[in-house]
A and B are shown apart, each in its own frame.
Chain A
Amino acid sequence: MLGIESKGILAVYLLCIASSVLCVVYGLLSWNRGETVPDDVKW
């Protein structure tokens, strides 16, 4: 696959892409999730 015969290198090649996709999916799903927390310190 992709011309890479070593399973270890192929695995990491695909893992890099998969982990990047994971970041994109997480970012999109939580785009509007997450309000501001000095006033609270005073409180």
Chain B
Amino acid sequence: MLAQGVGIVETIVVLLYLLIVVYLGYLGWRRTKSAADYMIAGRQIHPFVMAMSYGATFISTSAIVGFGGVAGMFGMSLLWLTFLNIFVGIFIAFVFLGGPTRRMGHRLDAHTFPELLGQRYQSKFIQVFSGLVIFVCMPLYAAAVLIGGSEFIATKFGVGYELALLVFSVIIAAYVVMGGMKGVMYSDALQGSIMFVGMIVLLIMTYSKLGGVTAAHQELHAMANVPSLFKGIGFKGWVTMPEFGWGQAKYDLWWIVVSTIVLGVGIGVLAQPQLAVRFMTVKSKRELNRAVLVGGIFILIMTGVAFVVGSLSNLYFYKHETVTGKIVAKTENIGVIAKKKRALEARIPCTLLHIDTNNDGVADVDVVEKGHDVVRDGQVVLPASKLMPAAEVKDLGDGMVEVRPRAVAFLRAVVQTKDGWMFNTDSIIPTYVTQALPGWFGLLFLVTLLSAAMSTLSSQFHAVGTSIGRDVYETVTGKHGHGIGVTRLGIIIGIVIAVLLSSYARGGYFIARATAIFFGLCASAFLPSFFGGLFWRRMTKAGSIASILVGFVITAFWLLFIKDEEARAIGLCFKLFEKHSLLLDKPNWAVVDPLVVALPISIIVAVVVSLMSKPPSEEHLRKCFRGV
């Protein structure tokens, strides 16, 4: 639980922030006169607003809480994702993709990403199918972001998780439904600015608390010998890459980090519908050039800080943290969930201390005191007494104690869920912020997280709405100009689905995995068609359809039958074959991301089918490519 409650000042600041956001939504509504205004902000957005909106949409609580927590677990190897986010997600995207996307979008009068593909290939099927993929799958990514925001609000304000989820969703729905793309982008710019300040302060305070940049890194490096639950899968420390290789379980971590987390998200960003559409909201290439400057700095600070601080939190929890208060309860020898999956729940027997730090009789900090070995037939099968932290408790008199948890980040983030006590990766960053940093920063971080979640969710819901309103309804019925009402209805349906998913899925680093799944799916299904459409005149409608279907089907097959975590959670593979993954007995395959297999095949299919099919007409190509 978090160490500090919410006072009147914090409540006022949050309400003031929400009022400003709703006002910006109202401003967007006032300035929305047409479908183009509602869907692509009238193609007249200022470069600063565009860059901050792109960055704030790109970076959500997934990056800060979800991936920051994964960095707390696995270390700074996640910085490869920061590099790809800047170099691919900003530089390549804006310099090489942004201009052609903007120009072709204007040429073809496209208002959405699926419409751009549909018009380029003269195919209603592509537009409708892409719209449906977004409508069905985007809520999964939105659920990941919602969980990140709601977890923090729930613990911070002491309200139920479901209530936090509901209030949070209603506020976002209000300004997206009302303000359209203009409302979304105006509020994004404000939220991005808040996020930037919050993360800069977080970085400075963390390094200064841990003795400076060099000292902090050296001390964290020296912690590589601390017992870890992840050594068996290749973990070698928080400032070292995991062990690389193929064919043994000890290489699993390298493939988890590189294939799912780094490649899945790092490449997937290029084909994100809610990001690509932003290239169509500016009036010239000049705005995109200027946006590169803002975006490059913004992404470095947002993801770089989250991953570095996530890693360094291990040093704080293990060597620096002390908790002073009264032990109000002790839970002896309870199984704490370390891994939660359908049909597999790994619990580690621990003794927990529940400490009251603000003298109100209620425990607000929970730490592991020690672990207990799991013994079967006289053999120790899990040496938890060595793997778990050994907290030091010093008696201060008057019932007060000083506890040094001496835990690494993953084992420090122990939270109570409806399934029992759990080590929750997604709680690492919130726990670090509330335990290590002063109360006023907790408030700034709260607004930072609210901003990160809301700026991404608003764009996700906007993309969900336009996919059903513009890409499915208008395309199928042919009733052009009536899409805004259906779009608004689509936004509400998307929010309801995301909320339902969010209340079902928590724990097991769901946030990072759900984000990676959506990014990987978009890359495998859309990237060849998007690139081919912009840069290869010979790319045909048949090539695009084949590539989209192959990318989608292989990704779905891999998630349902091969990738252990997801296949186990869905359960279809077990029902059909009575095992959780078809390649579970083959080392490493079950942790490889679908993108690694689906994207290369999707590219090959796009090229081969295009070369075998009739090229598009010269007239259509001239319309698409004049000036591109």
Residues in A lying within 8 Å of B, measured CB to CB? 2-6, 8-9, 12-13, 15-17, 19-24, 26-28, 30-38, 40-41
Contacts and interface: CB of A to CB of B under 8 A. Distances in A.
B228 interface: no
Q: State the majority secondary structure of interface residues on B.
A: helix
Contacts of B297: 20, 23-24
Q: Nearest 4 A-B pairs (CB), nearest first?
A: A23-B296, A27-B293, A3-B217, A34-B286
7 contacts: A3-B218, A16-B79, A16-B300, A19-B296, A23-B86, A26-B292, A40-B627
Contacts of A17: 300
Contact of B87 (A2, A19, A27, A28): A19
Mostly helix, strand, loop or mixed at chain A's interface?
Answer: helix
Contacts of B627: 37, 40
Given A9-B241, A19-B296, A30 B86 contact: no
Given A26-B91, A34-B289, A37-B284, A12 B106 contact: no
B124 interface: no
B217 A28 contact: no
Contact of B83 (A16, A21, A28, A41): A16
Range of interface residues on B (Cβ < 8 Å): 35 or more
B277 interface: no
B283 interface: yes
B289 A13 contact: no
Contacts, number: 124
B300 A36 contact: no
Contact of A26 (B76, B217, B293): B293
Contact of B293 (A2, A12, A15, A23): A23
A39 to B, nearest CB: 10
A18 B120 CA distance: 36
Given A22-B296, A37-B103, A41-B108, 4 more contacts: A3-B213, A8-B77, A36-B283, A37-B106
Contacts of A13: 76, 79
Interface in B5-37: none
A33 B287 CA distance: 9
